[in-house]
Amino acid sequence: MRIKVGVIFGGETVEHEVSIISAIQAMNKIDSEKYEIVPIYITKDREWYTGDMLKDIDVYQDLNLIKKYSENVVLYFKDGCYVLQKKKGMLKKIVKEIDIAFPIVHGTNVEDGVLQGYLQTIGIPLVGPNVYGAVVGQDKAFMKDIWSSRNLPMTKYTWFYDCDYRKNSDKIINEIENLKYPLIVKPARTGSSVGIAVCENQDKLKEAIDDALQYDNKVVVEEVVENLKEVNIAVMGNYENQKVSEIEEVLSANKFLTYTDKYIGGGKGKLKGGFKYSPKTSSKGMASASRKLPADLDSKLREEIENIAIDAFKVLGASGNSRIDFLIDKKTNKVYINEINSIPGSLAFYLWDAKEINFTQVLDDMINIGIKDYKKRISKTHSFETNILKGFAANGGVKGMKGKLK
């Protein structure tokens, strides 16, 4: 009997369309002899849909087709099973059962622990990071503070909340200017380079902060690495076991890899909602970005990056398949860890392909790690059989408490 894999994607996030691309890439490569693929699409207004038509990227150019021809569902635990039940209508029938959830999501409200929290609450096995790994893998301030505590090499940085900036922007700017220009400004919890800008002076810094605050209430500012070479590596596993992919050098005419570099390329078409789309570029997701694979690195530098990547993966409690981005000063060969992508665009399949591990095998490994993580999770004690409430009732319950509080 095939394992029923619920591939969850979309969501209320600025990376909604990127998630669609990543998920469709994966659904086309999951081994259909071992797994039954159940697409679960979350719209931008947080409605959940399922149906085989959701495996076809063309349907997303007209969202009315999805609402008309696929099933609007809810996912919950019922009679020992995890079910997708029809949400509306007289007969709220069960549309599908699933055995394991596979979130292929990017950005806030989905990749950042919110979706993982719901899935863990109902108890379903899931692929990728748990709540804790997802939270610190999405929040660059948490991420950097944790890595800093373990002395992993990073550029100098600071971060702040929007409320503190509104109260005293001059103080925040002065603190930031203890760093050295040029600086890069990032919303703490977005991805795909959304809301990110490089600043050469204070005027540009203020503009970049205003833009970043449109996307998040927390902003990270860090020094730019001069003479930059940007390289990425993927780590597969969990806290117990890890393996690393090939290392790529990312090529961009910009000072950081932009959203256009990553996903759009030369595409000129548009999906509804303003997302540019081209079957020849955007459908490839991160695989369409310009890169040198493998990266041109000597053996010492390569080993250093691999070791730092494994340490960074473990300390954040990551699981599944993460891509970790590094910055190298080409003049000094100094390595800086930049950030982790706990559910990377295109699931970083191209980094494994360069090691002759194909996408189908990557997906199989990820699902198996999710099953192992689930078995470990349920082996731990999470509740006790107690009679606290009986004792509470015997002592007068809420009414007894009120008497004691007087």
Give the model confidence (pLDDT) of 324-378 as tens digits: 999 999 999 999 999 999 999 999 999 999 999 999 999 999 999 999 999 999 9
Enter the pTM of the model.
0.87
Residue 139 lies in a domain: no
How do beta strands 242-250 and 334-341 pair?
unpaired
Angle at 192 between CA 263 and CA 275, to 5 degrees: 50
Number of domains in the chain: 3
What is the residue whose two structure tokens read 């198996």? 368
Domain that holds residue 37: 3-126
CATH number of the domain that 162 lies in?
3.30.1490.20
Residue 387 lies in a domain: no
Q: Locate all alpha helices (DSSP H) within 158-278, ordered by sequence.
A: 162-167, 169-176, 202-212, 259
Q: Tell me the residue type at 361.
A: Q
Same domain, 291 and 322: yes
Same domain, 218 and 233: no
DSSP 296-335: ---HHHHHHHHHHHHHHHHHTT--EEEEEEEEEETTTTEE
pLDDT value for 381 = 81
Whether the CB-CB separation of 27 and 52 falls below 8 Å is answered with: no
62 vs 36, more confident: 36
d(CA 38, CA 32): 11
**pLDDT averaged over the chain?**
89
Peptide bond into 39 cis (omega under 30): no
Whether the CB-CB separation of 351 and 362 falls below 8 Å is answered with: no
- SS3 state of residue 90: coil
CATH number of the domain that 45 lies in?
3.40.50.20
* Of residues 227, 233, 289, the one with CA closest to residue 255: 227
d(CA 137, CA 135): 5
Same domain, 210 and 273: no
pLDDT value for 389 = 66
Peptide bond into 153 cis (omega under 30): no
Banded pLDDT at 91 (limits 50, 70, 90): low
Same domain, 213 and 90: no
* Of residues 29, 33, 32, 50, the one with CA closest to residue 41: 50
Same domain, 266 and 297: yes
Whether the CB-CB separation of 257 and 339 falls below 8 Å is answered with: no
Residue 120 lies in a domain: yes
pLDDT value for 87 = 85
Give the model confidence (pLDDT) of 199-223 as tens digits: 999 999 999 999 999 999 999 999 9
d(CA 15, CA 23): 12
Same domain, 289 and 211: no
Residue 352 lies in a domain: yes
Same domain, 22 and 71: yes
Same domain, 241 and 347: yes
Query: Which domain-ending residue is among 173, 188, 223?
Result: 223
* Of residues 112, 114, 84, the one with CA closest to residue 99: 84
Residue 148 lies in a domain: no
Same domain, 107 and 21: yes
Structure tokens at 359: 């996408």
Structure tokens at 346: 């295109």
Same domain, 121 and 264: no
Beta bridge partners of 233: 247, 324
Contacts 24+ apart (CB under 8 A), 172-177: 173/202, 173/205, 173/206, 176/205, 176/221, 177/202
Same domain, 262 and 289: yes
Give the model confidence (pLDDT) of 236-268 as tens digits: 999 999 999 999 999 975 555 554 555 445 443
Beta bridge partners of 242: 237
Query: Which domain-ending residue is among 207, 223, 239?
Result: 223
Same domain, 212 and 230: no
Residue 138 lies in a domain: no
pLDDT value for 27 = 98
Query: Which domain-ending residue is among 173, 201, 223?
Result: 223
Residue 140 lies in a domain: no
Residue 284 lies in a domain: yes
CATH number of the domain that 247 lies in?
3.30.470.20
